[in-house]
Amino acid sequence: MNGAALDPLIPQLYHVRRVRRELRDIVTLDLVPIEGTRPPFQPGQFNMLYAFGIGEVAISVSGATTSLDCYVHTVRNVGAVSGAIAALRPGATLGVRGPFGTVWPCQAAEGKDVVIVAGGLGLAPLRPAIYHVLAHREHYGRIIVLYGARSPHDILFKSELERWRRKLDVDITVTVDHADADWHGNVGVVPQLIPRVGFDPQSSFAMVCGPEVMMRFTATSLHEAGLPLDRIYLSMERNMKCAIGLCGHCQFGPDFICKDGPVMRYDHIANRLTVREI
């Protein structure tokens, strides 16, 4: 791209190349730049997606870093802007700023076990990290993925979860809050899975993303299992507007999620997670 692509305040034009319906209210979009190539990103980062005439929203990248020609974003229709983006069809145009934010500790975790815990749509921001550790499988010990959904019908990326499980060198466990008669798997919240999986807490890193209450209980369960606080990472979600730490919408205590996050080490934010007003 030209020099303007380096200015985080100026959206660049992208085309929607492909749309995949994941769930009733969730779609995945492949976005390609109209000019040039997309800037590189690292697992955990996000872009600001701009629906013309409606507004802008922060969405984590959900594709592999090796998808060199496009960004992949998984979007839930929860409001005016995300709804407009989720309704886009191939060939549509939108604005993209980014990538922004801190990253999952994939490099720091080399040589260690990796415990990935996701709840609901939280699997999307973690998917680039899963792609990375699988692509560099020889650099990691055990890879454990724990995923919780509201019901069997709400399981995100179900075919990928099944494909990863078939690799035989990845431990995948899925649980649902509420089951129907056809579900024969785990029932219960995802933090309850942690005491049941075997990993060496002194030689592991954990990456967690999901609803804030789920992350709080998951981090507590991981620490109770022996994992040090400084090796637990959470991806925080707040109402990010500017992505460069100026507007203050995403302030989280002394930090701004868009600039100091979204991936944050648990020992830095544990006390704040217990305060409802923050």
Instruction: Report the mean per-residue pLDDT for the chain.
Output: 93
pLDDT of residue 155: 97
Q: Could you tell me which residues come within 8 angstroms of residue 4 by beta carbon, excluding any fewer than 6 positions away?
A: 10, 12
pLDDT of residue 6: 54
Domains in the chain (CATH in brackets) are: 3-100 (2.40.30.10), 113-273 (3.40.50.80)
pLDDT of residue 2: 46
- Asked whether the beta carbons of 16 and 29 are under 8 A apart, the reply is yes
SS3 73: strand
Percent of the chain residues topping a pLDDT of 90: 82
Structural tokens at position 55: 């507004």
- pLDDT(47) > 60: yes
pLDDT of residue 198: 82
> What pLDDT digit, counting tens, does each position of 171-226 carry?
999 999 999 889 999 999 999 999 999 889 999 999 999 999 999 999 999 999 99
Mean pLDDT calculated for residue range 2-28: 84
pLDDT band at 1 (very low <50, low <70, confident <90, very high): very low
- pLDDT(8) > 80: no
Structural tokens at position 252: 């989280």
What CA–CA distance (Å, rounded) separates 157 from 230?
29
pLDDT of residue 278: 65
pTM beyond cutoff 0.85: yes
> What pLDDT digit, counting tens, does each position of 60-116 carry?
999 999 877 899 999 999 999 999 999 999 999 999 999 999 999 999 999 999 999
What CA–CA distance (Å, rounded) separates 146 from 196?
11
> What pLDDT digit, counting tens, does each position of 63-76 carry?
999 877 899 999 99
The backbone torsions φ and ψ at residue 241, rounded to the nearest 5 degrees and listed phi first, read -115, -45
pLDDT of residue 277: 64
